[in-house]
Structure 1
Amino acid sequence: MMTAVNQHSRNQQSRELLREAWDDFIDNIQSARDAIDQSEYYPPDGDDRTLAEGYRYLAGFMHSAVERAFHDDANFPAFRNAISVYNKSTIDNADAIYFYAAIDGRQYYRVQAKLADAQHWRGQERASSGALAPQYLIFELHSGPMAGDTGDLGELAPGRRTGFGSLDSSVLQLGDDGQLELLIGPERPAGYSGNFICSRKPPRASDPGGDDRYADFISGRQLFYDWSREEAAQLTITALHSGGRQPAPLDSVRAARQLRKMGAIVRGQMHFWLAFYDRILNSRGRHQEGRYAMPVNGYNRPNAASGDTGGGMSTNIYAGGIFDLGENDALYIEARYSGEPVYTSLHLSNLWGESPDYANHQSSLNGFQMAMGADGVQRWVVAHRDPGVPNWIDTTGLRRGYLSNRWAYPELPDEDQWPTISARKVAFSDISGCFPADTPSVTPAERRTAIAERQSHVQRRFRVF
């Protein structure tokens, strides 16, 4: 039996261990904070709004790092929001739920959900009434660091991450009652014909004597089109090897490790993404133009998701640019695509990579929400105030920020069939002349109705009870 003296000594060791870990955590948070206003970390120009949003941005990484450091457990997993209205980052998609869960690819897991009407997943007309499943759903397995965790762009090097496969709504099998079940594991069980993603890969060809590789997490997106009717899928994940068991209680050694991990995540994310925007996207015009560089008031050439682009959904084609608009300026944008993307959108971001307030402003539009003419050309205008056209993208007062377009396909088309996009700055007074003559006008009352719909949907999408 432990004596009182020994217990006191052990408690003192625990206090010292946790204080040291806390001090390391604070040091990492301070290093993350430095990225807001110290030039060596490439922060955006620090006007009042930008500085205020920088501290919110930092707090968002702290919010998500608590969950990732203290509550991720591959033996007792749960799906969590990787990005939400509380921790926006990485030029996030205003139509998306980004979700993830930790797994051990050596084990088996079952993912389940009960979906609303999903007949549009098979190319059928949407049900005329009632709740709908999201426009698009995808699951993906990966290993390696989550994008940004290291704080070093070296994590984009080939081989630092491994993808293990994906399934999306174009092929996911559903039960007659809308029940979705997905099995994850290192080998498909004999006779199993349902939804399955393998969580194991053999050694790389360059390392034939190496070990098998196993997935560390499952991630994915739910993308919404009709914000008035589509309902989020309530996903659950069960570790089949630990059902009915309990995790071990927390101790000082594990808590110290988690505190250090939390601080490292926040520091890494703050440093990585600003470096990514500066060096990969060339957002400040300091480097030689590259494939992904974002021109001012224009677009880069559309490109597919890859490690070079910081990850992203594997079925997406992306295009991006930077808007920089004076009070009486606007940016007129046209895009053309071939085939039948299951999802398409345009949305904005501030220079930290946070999407603007898309609940209370029309700072994004997807393919369902926007008006398209008979010629099939996508047309938008980005402006600081409402010009009375359907496809207005509200800057929310940001003079400068990121433009991001996405087209998602069940299978990526050949590159010569990828979308094309262009933009030009125009005077606010010339906006109406950019659109076809049959473009309808939008009244202030109609705009308020659209905003009310957005407000309601975002509350439902990210409800916590």
Structure 2
Amino acid sequence: MAAGPKAPQYLIFETHTVYAGDTGSLAELGPGGRVVTGMQDSTTLLVDADGRFEILLAPQRPAGHIGNFIVTTSKAGDTAGYVVARVLFHDWEHEVSPDLHIAQIDSDATHPAPLTPSSTAARIRRIGDLVENQMKFWNEFYDVVLEAHGDKNGDGITFMPRNELNAPMPANLATGGGQCTNVYSGGTYDLGPDDALLIELSAPVKPAYLGFHLSNLWGESLDYANHVCSLNGFQTEPDLDGHLRYIVTGLDPGVPNWLDTAGHSQGFLTVRWTYAEPPAELPTATVTLISRDEVRKHLPETTRTVSAAERREQIRIRQQHVQRRYRQY
């Protein structure tokens, strides 16, 4: 078979009643605040020989329709106003972004009503509202819900543990779970100049996707194009016992699964495992604070050394992938 572009490792389309953060209120995390009416992921997606697919979105499946379909109305009567597509890449060198288009049925060759001063003003006000609401929601989410900056509810602990990870749990809208097929584990890191974290992951049930990334304390991803501050299952080298061992620190320790803090001594640790169906057994995660000088003492003897040339090649692949990914849109 001739070599060519590869499809992404995993795609998922979800229909939501609210786009996360648009309301500006944490109330959208409560029951009924944001409802996912339907979804379809790449494990069930019907794709033709040319790699093309169509998904019909409607309140109910039309009689006789047997193709890809996502329902936009829940059994309780909630109506989705948004479709959210998530594209998860494994092989950053060869996987390419899909070319996505949205078309309203029976609207071909029609045009919208002309803009007027009042309709234009309303749209501009809406943009301003969304910017303000998004800033308010996410600042409050990280500060109050995730307690990124200390205990907020007075129970003496923080929701995101320091130099630790929460036990992996299935996605939950109440805690910001952004993809219904994910299992999440999160925490924060707080490292001194000579510190490192050893993080060990084990998944009894193999996921469709694994991603581990670092971000700052406001949830913004670090510079993943120019630093290895994220690794997925394809990019991670497992040990002989099947466990995945990562080192989080600011200077390159010369081991395969290094996550670079990119100058941020504090930040978030986020691990996602994606399962098309709920796994019979959840993954596990452990974190150990160690000295950066003793990294090799805490890793298997078979752990190989990564050369400076290999690390540069990692960065080359990442830079080119990020350019391709965002040039698509």
TM-score by length of 1: 0.68
List per-residue Cα deviations over 1:148-193 (Å, max 9, x = no partner).
1222212212112221111111111111222211111122122211
SS at the partner of 1:462? helix
SS at the partner of 2:102? strand
Structure 1 segment 361-400 matched on structure 2, within 5 A:
361-400=227-266
Give the residue type in structure 2 aligned to 1:371: E
Distance 1:243 1:314, change over 3 A: same
Q: Structure 2 stretches of 5 or more lacking a match?
A: none
Q: Does the aligned pair in 1 maintain the 2:99–2:328 contact within 8 Å? A: no
Q: 1:372: Cα distance to partner? A: 0.5
Find the counterpart in structure 1 of residue 79 from structure 2: 214
List per-residue Cα deviations over 1:31-50 (Å, max 9, x = no partner).
xxxxxxxxxxxxxxxxxxxx
In the alignment, is residue 189 of structure 1 matched against residue 44 of structure 2?
Answer: no
For residues 311 and 387 of structure 1, the distance between their equivalents in structure 2, rounded to whole angstroms, comes to 32
Distance 1:376 1:291, change over 3 A: farther
List per-residue Cα deviations over 1:383-436 (Å, max 9, x = no partner).
10100001000000001000000000011124xx11111112111101111211
Find the counterpart in structure 2 of residue 286 from structure 1: 151
Q: Does the aligned pair in 2 maintain the 1:280–1:290 contact within 8 Å? A: no
For residues 330 and 425 of structure 1, the distance between their equivalents in structure 2, rounded to whole angstroms, comes to 6
Distance 1:290 1:342, change over 3 A: farther
In the alignment, is residue 135 of structure 1 matched against residue 1 of structure 2?
Answer: no
For residues 261 and 322 of structure 2, the distance between their equivalents in structure 1, rounded to whole angstroms, comes to 19
Find the counterpart in structure 2 of residue 146 from structure 1: 19
SS at the partner of 2:236? coil
Q: 1:290: Cα distance to partner? A: 9.9
In the alignment, is residue 450 of structure 1 matched against residue 314 of structure 2?
Answer: yes
Determine which of 322, 338, 341 is the counterpart of 2:188. Answer: 322
Determine which of 183, 190, 203 is the counterpart of 1:337. Answer: 203
SS at the partner of 2:127? helix
For residues 82 and 191 of structure 2, the distance between their equivalents in structure 1, rounded to whole angstroms, comes to 40
Find the counterpart in structure 1 of residue 94 from structure 2: 229
Find the counterpart in structure 2 of residue 247 from structure 1: 112
Distance 1:291 1:149, change over 3 A: farther
List per-residue Cα deviations over 1:50-92 (Å, max 9, x = no partner).
xxxxxxxxxxxxxxxxxxxxxxxxxxxxxxxxxxxxxxxxxxx
Distance 1:167 1:279, change over 3 A: same
For residues 14 and 158 of structure 2, the distance between their equivalents in structure 1, rounded to whole angstroms, comes to 23
- Equivalent pairs: percent with the same residue? 46
For residues 321 and 227 of structure 2, the distance between their equivalents in structure 1, rounded to whole angstroms, comes to 13
Distance 1:227 1:291, change over 3 A: farther
Q: Does the aligned pair in 1 maintain the 2:227–2:260 contact within 8 Å? A: yes
Kindly indicate which of the two structures has a greater share of residues assigned to helix: 1
Q: Does the aligned pair in 2 maintain the 1:147–1:311 contact within 8 Å? A: no
Q: 1:128: Cα distance to partner? A: 8.5
User: Higher Cα Rg: structure 1 or 2?
Assistant: 1
For residues 302 and 168 of structure 1, the distance between their equivalents in structure 2, rounded to whole angstroms, comes to 21
Q: How many residues align?
A: 328
Find the counterpart in structure 2 of residue 265 from structure 1: 130
Find the counterpart in structure 1 of residue 176 from structure 2: 310
Q: 1:241: Cα distance to partner? A: 2.9
List per-residue Cα deviations over 1:281-314 (Å, max 9, x = no partner).
1212223469981111001121222221224110
For residues 359 and 284 of structure 1, the distance between their equivalents in structure 2, rounded to whole angstroms, comes to 27
Determine which of 416, 421, 425 is the counterpart of 2:289. Answer: 425
Q: Does the aligned pair in 2 maintain the 1:320–1:402 contact within 8 Å? A: yes
For residues 23 and 66 of structure 2, the distance between their equivalents in structure 1, rounded to whole angstroms, comes to 38
Q: 1:130: Cα distance to partner? A: 2.5
For residues 323 and 371 of structure 1, the distance between their equivalents in structure 2, rounded to whole angstroms, comes to 22
List per-residue Cα deviations over 1:195-225 (Å, max 9, x = no partner).
11122234x3xxxxxxx43220111211000
Find the counterpart in structure 2 of residue 124 from structure 1: none
For residues 372 and 328 of structure 1, the distance between their equivalents in structure 2, rounded to whole angstroms, comes to 25
Q: Does the aligned pair in 1 maintain the 2:150–2:158 contact within 8 Å? A: no
Find the counterpart in structure 2 of residue 359 from structure 1: 225
Distance 1:464 1:410, change over 3 A: closer
For residues 291 and 305 of structure 1, the distance between their equivalents in structure 2, rounded to whole angstroms, comes to 22
Structure 1 segment 19-58 matched on structure 2, within 5 A:
none
